[in-house]
Amino acid sequence: MTKPLAIHWFRQDLRLSDNPSLLAASKAGNVLPIYILDDDNAGEYKMGGASRWWLHHSLNALNKSLKGNLRVYRGDAQAILCKLVEQNPNCSLSWNRCYEPWRIARDKSIKQALEQAGVEAQSYNGSLLWEPWQVLKKDGTPYKVFTPYYRRGCLSATAPREPLAKPRIRYAEGDFQALTIDELHLLPTVAWDVQLNGHWKIGEAPAQARLRQFIDEGLADYKEGRNYPAKKNVSQLSPHLHWGEISPNQVWYDVQRSGSGVNEDCLLSELGWREFSYALLYHFPNLPEKNLQKKFDAFPWRNNKKKLARWQQGMTGYPIVDAGMRELWQTGYMHNRVRMIVGSFLVKNLLLHWHHGKNWFWDCLVDADLASNSASWQWIGGCGADAAPYFRVFNPISQGEKFDHSGAYTRHFVPELSALPDKYLYRPWEAPEAVLDAAGIELGVTYPLPVVDVKLSREQALEAFKAIKVNPT
Ligand SMILES: Cc1cc2nc3c(=O)[nH]c(=O)nc-3n(C[C@H](O)[C@H](O)[C@H](O)COP(=O)(O)OP(=O)(O)OC[C@H]3O[C@@H](n4cnc5c(N)ncnc54)[C@H](O)[C@@H]3O)c2cc1C
């Protein structure tokens, strides 16, 4: 007797191992693995360019792992699923949950439509260590501060589930009227992705290899080394985690079993920040748009397209900021320390709205994630949950001197300053003419003069914060 058809809908879980929905489908019948590019419902949260580039390669890698059996579609997910179900009566359908507000609303509607068609859709947790609705304060309200969320809420709750085995899959046969991955047109028409191509290895196997390499080479000094962008102590797992090429459960348990003490705890708590961001997005679905602290609604943001463009292009005249923005453009990634520096610079020195930063990151990051990006930008702006206090303005000069004191990171991404002595690297405008000449630098020509005075702009920011009556805590 032929087994029933079990559709597994891949979304942010582009892997075979530790995939609860795929495992369930493989037990239920002959598996039809599908992916749907649903730009129609994403609205303003349609994927950015770097995300689309990653997705193209990740789908190809996944299809290879699935022995060419992945079927891809483009359009309204509900219409596509209802048609598939109609053409394949008695099938089952499952997926791993997503937590973006638009996806929650869409999935609810799909479940109802499928129920009416007599098909029960099953959903599983394949992306988070703890479900957002399970980690609540004693009074049933969501946590707004990270430390109690993580320590009291997560660590004292049931431990995350152990990773699941890779399923043995029997594939469904037939013509399911799918597109090819190329027909999704995810790659850019102008070839800005050349540099990204050389930087990443995409897919489940490279994600596993990245984790192994990080545990072997980076984790031992993670707690300290993670602050220095030139060091190789961070995992660079964020895009793999975002796309679900590896599960947080596997990272959690593999790191825990490595026995790396404080470094292990530190890495696990960073995974905790990822969970916290998702919990915030779930409980405060306006997180990507609205200040969590309402008093920030009156903040006198400036509007200056020229300054915004200089920030985006890495031409602010502050070398560590420019290095970060160029890293983002060239690799689709930016080191966390530098994300904080460039974020603070945009919001607190240029006084430009955090939305501009969030939107630029959304388009350029290969790990662009609605939860982590929105929560982090609110944190930078001082308007979010457990946010950086408004008076904490990162000084781009001292941050560069402290966290990239050899200049290796900055010189790599801002090569026009490479011959400048360390003493002036983060303040080229203070270098004597002879030093600039010897380094081949003409300020304002080969490298820009500062877009703002950091001291003055800091004072202006503090005044603006005072005006909305945000008091130091
Ligand atoms: C302004 C700003 C925007 C950001 N936007 C994003 C985003 O769109 N997507 C994204 O994944 N992260 C974002 N982050 C968080 C953080 O910078 C990245 O997760 C981290 O730099 C990824 O590098 P890694 O994998 O080497 O991190 P590691 O230090 O190796 O950490 C391991 C994992 O923990 C998680 N993690 C670490 N730090 C954070 C954090 N602060 N918040 C949430 N999760 C964290 C990530 O999944 C990361 O892969 C943002 C941070 C800032 C300040």
pLDDT computed for residue 385 by the predictor:
80
CATH 3.40.50.620 for the 5-126 domain, yes or no: yes
Q: Any idea which residue has 């290095």 for tokens?
A: 323
How far is CA 325 from each of CA 111, 328, 410, 414, rounded to the nearest angstrom? 42, 5, 11, 10
Residue 471 is predicted with a pLDDT of 52
DSSP-derived secondary structure for 204-217:
HHHHHHHHHHIIII
How much is the average pLDDT of 85-114?
96
Active-site annotation holds for 377: yes
Burial class, 20, CB count within 10 angstroms (exposed 0-12 / middle 13-18 / buried 19+): buried
Burial of 453 (0-12, 13-18, 19+ CB in 10 A): exposed
Residue with the smallest CA separation from ligand 1 atom 36 is 270
Residue 390 has pLDDT above 90, yes or no: no
Q: How confident is the model at residue 470 (pLDDT cuts 50, 70, 90)?
A: low
Q: How far is the CA of 338 from the centre of ligand 1 (A)?
A: 11
Averaged pLDDT for residues 425-448: 98
Give span(s): CATH 1.25.40.80, the chain: 128-163+203-283
Contacts 24+ apart (CB under 8 A), 299-303: 299/383, 299/464, 299/465, 299/468, 300/351, 300/464, 300/467, 300/468, 301/351, 301/352, 301/353, 302/350, 302/351, 302/352, 303/352
Confidence of residue 112 (pLDDT cuts 50, 70, 90): very high
d(CA 195, CA 199): 7
Whether 389 shows a pLDDT value over 80: the answer reads: no
Ligand 1 atom at minimal distance to the Cα of residue 343: 1
Is residue 356 very low, low, confident or very high in pLDDT (cuts 50, 70, 90)? very high
Share of the chain above pLDDT 90, in %: 92
CATH 1.10.579.10 occupies which residues in the chain?
294-470
Ligand 1 centroid – CA 253 distance (Å): 19
Task: Find the residues whose C-beta lies inside 6 A of ligand 1.
Answer: 226, 234-238, 241-242, 270-271, 273-274, 277, 336, 339-340, 343, 361, 365, 367-369, 372-373, 376-377, 380
- Ligand 1 centroid–CA 361 distance in Å is 12
Mutate to test the pocket of ligand 1, among 367, 374, 377, 392 (most ligand atoms within 8 A of CB): 367
- What band does 188 get if pLDDT is binned at 50, 70 and 90? very high
| Residue 260 pLDDT greater than 90, yes or no | no
Q: What pLDDT, on the 0 to 100 scale, is given for residue 1?
A: 62
Rounded to an integer, what distance in angstroms lies between the CA atom of residue 384 and that of residue 390? Answer: 11
Task: Please give the average per-residue pLDDT across 335-358, as a whole number.
Answer: 97
Our measurement of the distance from residue 21's CA atom to the centroid of its chain's CA atoms, rounded to an integer in Å, reads: 23
Rounded to whole angstroms, the Cα distance separating 76 from 66 reads 24
Per residue in 288-303, pLDDT tens?
A: 999 999 999 999 999 9
Mean pLDDT of the chain: 96
Task: Please report which confidence band the pLDDT of residue 307 belongs to, taking 50, 70 and 90 as the band edges.
Answer: very high
Active site residue 249: no
Q: What is the pLDDT of residue 473?
A: 39
| Residue closest by Cα to atom 40 of ligand 1 | 273
Structure tokens at 124: 């599983």
Q: Ligand 1 mean position to 229 CA, how many Å?
A: 13
Tell me how far apart the alpha carbons of residues 271 and 338 are, in angstroms, rounded to a whole number: 19
- C-alpha distances out from residue 381 to 52, 70, 343, 364, 460, Å: 27, 42, 8, 20, 15
Mean pLDDT across 32-46: 95
Neighbours of 188 (CB within 10 A): 14
Degrees, nearest 5: CA angle 188-190-191 = 80
Using CA atoms, how far apart are residues 238 and 23, in angstroms rounded to an integer? 24
Domain 294-470 coded CATH 1.10.579.10: yes
Tokens of 257: 């079993």
The span from the CA of 473 to the CA of 172, in Å, is 60
How crowded is the C-beta side of 312, counted as CA atoms within 13 Å?
A: 17
**pLDDT (0 to 100) of residue 163:** 98
Atom of ligand 1 nearest to the CA of 238: 49
Q: Which one-letter DSSP state was computed for residue 297?
A: G
Of 192 and 101, the structure prediction assigns the larger pLDDT to: 101
Tokens of 77: 């997910």
Residues whose CB is less than 8 angstroms from the CB of residue 286 and which lie 6 or more positions away in sequence, other chains included: none
Q: What is the pLDDT of residue 467?
A: 85
Pick 471 or 75 by higher pLDDT. 75
Cα–Cα distance, 85 to 218 (Å, whole number)? 47
Task: Give the pLDDT band (50/70/90) at residue 378.
Answer: very high
Catalytic option among 301, 304, 401, 416? 301
Does the pLDDT value for residue 472 go beyond 70?
Answer: no
- CB-CB neighbours of 131 under 10 Å: 15
Contact between 49 and 362 under an 8 Å Cβ cutoff? The reply is no
Q: Tell how far CA 371 is from the center of its chain.
A: 8
- One of 3.40.50.300, 1.10.3720.10, 2.40.50.140, 1.25.40.80 is the CATH number of 128-163+203-283, namely 1.25.40.80
Residue 95 has pLDDT above 60, yes or no: yes
Task: Please write the tens of the pLDDT for every residue from 311-335.
Answer: 999 999 999 999 999 999 999 999 9
* Active-site annotation holds for 336: yes
Q: Is 270 a catalytic residue?
A: yes
Assess whether pLDDT exceeds 50 at residue 19.
yes
Q: How far apart are alpha carbons 169 and 26 in whole angstroms? A: 5
Mean pLDDT of all residues in 404-427: 98
Question: What is the average per-residue pLDDT within 180-208?
Answer: 95
Ligand 1 atom nearest residue 342's Cα: 1
Q: 471 or 1, which is more confident?
A: 1
Whether 311 is catalytic: no
